[in-house]
Structure 1
Amino acid sequence: MAKRRRSSPDESDEDASYGPSTNPRKKRAPSRRLRPRKDTESADTELEQYSAARSSTHTAAIHRIADTSTLRSLLLNWYDGVHQRRGMPWRKPFDPSLDSDGRAQRAYEVWISEIMLQQTQVATVIPYYNKWMEKYPTIRHLAESDIETVNALWKGLGYYSRAARLLEGAKKAVEELGGRLPDNAKDMEAKIPGIGRYSAGAICSIAYNQCVPVLDGNVHRLLSRVLALHAPPKAKATLDILWSGASAMVEACDRPGDVNQALIELGSTVCKVRDPDCRSCPLAVGCRAHQRQQGTTKEKEKSQIPSNSESVTVTAHEVPDIEDLCTLCEPLPAGCLVTAYPMKTERKKAREELDIVNVVEWRHQDARDRWFLLVKRPEGG
């Protein structure tokens, strides 16, 4: 009797020696029907993760301002309508008719305001500035003063080292520079104590109409969003890109001082840390962070999530050439909101210190006279 040939595991039933199987107990292949999705939250999350991953893959070219003339025009038009709202006494339009002495006086006024505004709100600074200018209307008046008088006038602003540097800078300007602050940012930063790149740029652009940039905390945040730069905020490469963007905004500009003040004002009042008012921002049309947020929202609205679908279908985007990729930015958090820029950093834990204070008091026998020993702290340390 001939033996039947068993079908191999790789052969179908139809290839067996005796034809298709007619065994009624043979199990059918499981149905491939798709189960309805229980919720859409995971689909939203998947889309957000996709958008975040895609946004971290981009060319370095997006971190350069493409059309500075248009953005500058929009910025200045906005600034012309708002620059007097907060009533800053030091904020005046550039006057080309001023002679060298007049411009040096403006430089002194802007210098005082910039140092006072460091880590201090505008509303707090205004009354202090007015009192200061009454007491020391020119740089020579300040140079003739002493640290005790200056500190008494500064009381309440904090960070007294700022007042000391103002006095030191005024004395140096009078003794070595003819009673004037330098008329260019390079010399000002090099020769006046307490003036760094930002302060030199602000003073020289406003008082001397020099086309030099500024980058304070407000402009840092604003340009990080305009350039969609999500990188370690204090890294040299990050700062180089932001300084380049700030420089482009004032390059060959007729009103560099107004451009710089407008950037500061926009970052302070509109492009805020939380709840930025993108609808009223004049730079929204060129802000890549805003465009990305709008694009992510549209992708989410357009994504179709059928009730019988197991996954979200997203459209693949063209990946840029590897040689053009940005290697600085880090992945964005899910959602890709404007407030994701600039990149957040973890705050260092506050250092714990132990301070010991000794109070030396002398009293007369009748207790009417009391004396305390005071020692002036050193200049350093």
Structure 2
Amino acid sequence: MAEHPAYPVGLRLAGRRVVVLGGGQVAQRRLPALIAAGADIVLVSPEATASVEAMADAGEITWQRRRYEDGDLADAWYALIATSDHDANTRASAEAERHRVWCVRSDDADAATAWTPATGHSAGVTVAVLTTSARGRDPRHTAAIRDAVVEGLRDGTLVAPHHRTRTPGVALVGGGPGDPDLITVRGRRLLAEADVVIADRLGPRDLLAELPPHVEVIDAAKIPYGRFMAQEAINNALLEHAKQGKSVVRLKGGDPYVFGRGMEEVQALAEAGVPCTVVPGISSSISVPGAAGIPVTHRGVAHEFTVVSGHVAPDDERSLVDWASLARLTGTLVVLMGVDKIGRIAETLVAHGKSPDTPVALVQEGTTAAQRRVDATLATVAETVRAQDVKPPAVIVIGEVVTVGPGI
């Protein structure tokens, strides 16, 4: 048998009896995939790890708390033999052979009738890497190949074209705070498969350079006719390209639903009957302070944080923010889009009871190579912004958490 390569196959185990002998680390690693496959799993072992026991307590597997006995593999479709008793493993393997049950052995792969490949998953595809023969088996090498393929599929560097007809539509993708490595795996994959990308100015711009030449990139920041018409034009562009049967990605900074007008775009697509997938992104309200060494919560300092938009001033009739209530909170206040209004915001907070000495940090171009942090207090922040020439985009953090980081 050692002279012949293994024959790769995918087992459909839903509702079929699978027997696992041994409740140790091997079982702990292998059981989740068997559970996900819908197998009817029987674990035979006098003891198990805490994680395996939790699976039994949750009803995901049936646990028989004893050692292996002859006949345990009767009517099984598949067996995983992973006890610490070599003699029991040998006897169970022989039983599997008699009953023609495909059997994996953790202690002796050469004596098994099946091998477990190194597997990974990406976008509904399972990648399984298997050494072709027992001779020269190198689990680390196969795992490394698996990781390289899966990572390539996830980040878009390995693109496998779809040959079946794709369903046209729009993916509303949150690109994160700016660092291209902080986009989600799903977002990056969808970006790699797009025909058209409509990108915000604050999205991860470096990712656009990686797109194939045939991808049409539309700069949403340059759509004319002002702010209101710009959003209308964006909606129209999404609809136009989607209705042409193209795969469209709307690449936004941060998360689509955190001050990103994402729902407006979803609503416009829904009204036109265009399917839309929303991919959440890492919000700059949390990630940018973190990148600058500021935790938005900290034990004994802040038990809550509040995120508000500062694009209109507190005394503007369009403002929906209750600044008086915010001034009374003891937690962290994170202000987005508020650089040019921070003077009036600080004055309002102080007027409603916030201490003028409350620490403030402004993190400009957070998570990018141009990131910089400027510290002040509510009393000095307006002048500090002018003196230090702080420009948007910048995330403003107000509260004692500003002072708890290393080196502060």
Q: With the length of structure 2 as denominator, give the TM-score of the two structures.
A: 0.23
Which gives a bigger RCO, structure 1 or 2 (Cα 8 Å, sep 6+)? 1
Return the index of the structure with the highest Cα Rg: 1
